[in-house]
A and B are shown apart, each in its own frame.
Chain A
């Protein structure tokens, strides 16, 4: 993966109690912001709903800080935790 693209990939993690409409709500917000979802996986880990999305921020309309605020706000509404982080952090920690 090139340096340029790497910079624009982010990881969104959604953790909390499962309920109807989580994926829909998150995807809707991302679509409105021009953020493309590259990969999505979800699982129930120790009774906790966990969703991980790899997203592409290349055509994003706002910037990652505003998007982080909006996702946090959405998370508060749905009573779940939603975080977005540059993919670089996972790359740094888990790849040599």
Chain B
């Protein structure tokens, strides 16, 4: 039935190469929770999440035990709160964040995403209220994650929102200054945000999604790294083929877990997200895969090419292994969550500018990057604007999750512990984009958006 080699290969992937299913994320629609009374809406939100996700964590743990597959996170994504809260009487949306937080704690998940707004073309009144509530919401909750979509390839970039988010990120940092701006680790802005992403901080359940759905994010940088070690000295065609095979196997594990979770919870299966997601553990790093290509260190010239090939090969291998693929699906390049990235920053080989170039070909963007706390809002908005442009004009998802740490400067390191890891403060180009950011308005959609 199986030969020894196959069985031992699988065992080693789990035991030595850190293969895991990163997250089972249950998407829950909160559309039917909306009322004109914020207290009532909050209660409905809490009740619905507690009911739908009652067995999520236990089911994840059962599957993990029975199949011998580590399943790291059980999480929840919900309808963007700006949609759910729109008819309420209050402009202070922190009450909804607290309801999400309490529900997440009650069912035992480690994050809940969806304190979100989709503002790529402009603000509704509710979107404004949500954005204004983000700093306080993230400072007063533990498990709530917030995301804002600022741009799409179809609509262009909402530069008013880009400007505002620079200030909101700084405010969030300020309100969580005692925790080294931890609030900013839970806040991400997007271009082309996927509506079925299972990964935090950007998970939310888009308005086109079903009532309840199971999305699964796989991981496995260690497996890819190990596979590439066996292809040392071979040409890049062989490297691509090796990555595809590893990605196929990783994804099949995710597909099995997703199918089983969907069956046991009686909730439809949505998508597998084929992402290579690193952790700060040694042996679970994207940077080290890039170095296995033959780079002295991540950040060296050639890094973008290697990352492009890695990202593409992961998708090609993974697509065949799953019936439905979605979410972000690619290699993540967070700095603080990747031991090799941290080393590359500390050695001086990896700059913010190089990271920006890498985001043109990776699955997301400038992720978990700590910068000096005194960085002006318009510079943060400038970083966001550039990332949004890369996503919008290249038809891909990009994101910014940046952490201006109050009181910290280049040379300092901040540590968040756990999967969030620790981040060296990176140097930021101080030339000012203030006049550009101040203009506001919209950057029109690129010409290739007109496909009809």
User: A11 near B2 (CB under 8 angstroms)?
Assistant: yes
Contact of A83 among B4, B11, B249, B255 (CB under 8 A): B11
B6 to chain A: which residues have CB within 8 Å?
A: 90, 93-94
- Contact assessment for B4 and A93 in the assembled complex, using a CB-CB cutoff below 8 Å: no
The reply to whether A83 and B68 contact each other, CB–CB distance below 8 Å, is yes
Q: List A residues 72-90 near B (Cβ within 8 Å).
A: 81, 83-90
Within 8 Å by CB of A43, from B1, B4, B10, lies B4
List A contacts of B1 (CB < 8 A).
39, 54, 87
Alpha-carbon distance A13/B255, docked complex (angstroms): 23
A94 touches B10 (CB 8 A): yes
Give B376-404 as 1s and 0s: 1 = Cβ < 8 Å from A's Cβ atoms: 00000000000000000000000000000
Residues 288-308 of chain B: 1 if any A CB is under 8 Å from the residue's CB, otherwise 0? 000000000000000000000
A43: chain B residues within 8 A (beta carbon): 4
CA distance A65 to B67 in the complex (A): 10
B interface, over-half SS: helix
Question: Are A89 and B69 touching (Cβ within 8 A)?
Answer: yes
B65 on the A face (CB < 8 A): yes
Contact partner of A65 among B62, B253, B256, CB < 8 A? B62
A64: contacting residue among B8, B15, B66, CB under 8 A: B66
Asked if B252 contacts A93 (CB within 8 A), the reply is: yes
Interface residues on B, range: 20 to 34
Residues in B with CB closer than 8 Å to A54 are 1
- CB contacts (< 8 Å) of B66 on chain A: these are 64-65, 68, 85-86
- In the complex, are the beta carbons of A92 and B255 less than 8 A apart? yes
Q: Are A41 and B4 in contact (CB under 8 A)?
A: yes
A89 & B8 in contact (Cβ 8 Å cutoff): no
Complex CA gap A13/B66 in Å reads: 14
| Size band of the interface chain A makes with B | 20 to 34
- Is B450 at the interface (CB under 8 A from chain A)? no
- A14–B51 alpha-carbon span in the complex (Å): 41
Which B129-165 residues sit within 8 Å CB-CB of chain A?
none
B65-A68 in contact (CB<8A): yes
Annotate A14-34 by CB proximity to B: 1 below 8 A, 0 otherwise. Answer: 010000000000000000000
Using known A-B contacts A13-B7, A65-B62, determine if residue A89 contacts B2 with beta carbons closer than 8 Å. Answer: no
Q: Determine which of B7, B9, B255 lies in contact with A52 in the assembled complex, contact meaning CB atoms within 8 Å.
A: B7
> How long is the Cα–Cα vector from A89 to B1 in the complex, in angstroms?
13
Dominant secondary structure of chain A at its interface with chain B: strand
Q: How far is the CA of A52 from the CA of B1 in the complex (A)?
A: 12
Q: How far is the CB of A91 from chain B (nearest CB, A)?
A: 8
A50 within 8 A of B: yes
Q: How far is the CA of A39 from the CA of B7 in the complex (A)?
A: 14
Task: Say whether B10 contacts A93, CB under 8 Å.
Answer: yes
Q: How far is the CA of A86 from the CA of B7 in the complex (A)?
A: 12
Interface pair A52/B4, CB less than 8 Å apart: yes
B1-36: contact bitstring with A at CB < 8 Å (1 yes, 0 no)? 110101111110001000000000000000000000
Interface positions, chain A 47-67, Cβ under 8 Å from B, are 50, 52, 54, 64-65
- Complex-state Cα separation, A41 to B2, whole angstroms: 11
Are B65 and A89 in touch, CB under 8 angstroms? Answer: no
| Alpha-carbon gap, A90 to B14, bound state (A) | 12
Shortest beta-carbon distance, B318 to chain A, in Å? Answer: 13
* CB-defined contacts of B8 to chain A, threshold 8 Å: 13, 45, 50
Q: Which of B58-109 contact A (CB under 8 A)?
A: 62, 65-69
Partner of B67, one of A39, A45, A89: A89
Chain A residues near B10: list those with CB within 8 A: 89-90, 93-94
Q: Are B68 and A84 in contact (CB under 8 A)?
A: yes
Which residues of chain B are near A68, meaning CB under 8 Å?
Answer: 65-66, 68
Chain B 229-267 against A: per-residue CB contact (8 Å), 1 yes, 0 no? 000000000000000000001001101100000000000
Q: Are B253 and A92 closer than 8 Å at their CB atoms?
A: yes
Q: What CA separation (Å) do A50 and B6 show in the bound complex? A: 13
* Chain B residue at minimum C-beta to C-beta distance from A64: B66
CA gap between A3 and B7 in the complex, in Å:
20
Expressed in whole angstroms, the Cα–Cα distance for A40 and B256 within the complex equals: 25
Contacts of A86 in B (CB 8 A): 66-68
In the complex, A90 Cα to B76 Cα: how many Å? Answer: 29
Interface contact A93-B253, CB-CB below 8 Å? yes
Are B253 and A15 interface neighbours, CB within 8 A? no
A13 to B68, CA, bound (A): 11
CA distance A89 to B67 in the complex (A): 7
In Å, the complex CA distance between A85 and B69 comes to: 9
Show 18 A/B contacts (Cβ-Cβ < 8 Å), sorted by A: A64-B66, A65-B65, A65-B66, A83-B11, A85-B66, A86-B66, A87-B2, A89-B253, A89-B256, A90-B6, A90-B10, A91-B2, A92-B253, A92-B255, A92-B256, A93-B6, A93-B252, A94-B249
Closest 3 CB pairs of A and B: A85-B68, A92-B252, A92-B256
Please list the residues of chain A having a beta carbon within 8 angstroms of any beta carbon in chain B.
11, 13, 15, 39, 41, 43, 45, 50, 52, 54, 64-65, 68, 81, 83-94
Other contacts beyond A52-B4, A89-B256: 4, CB < 8 A: A11-B7, A13-B7, A50-B4, A88-B256
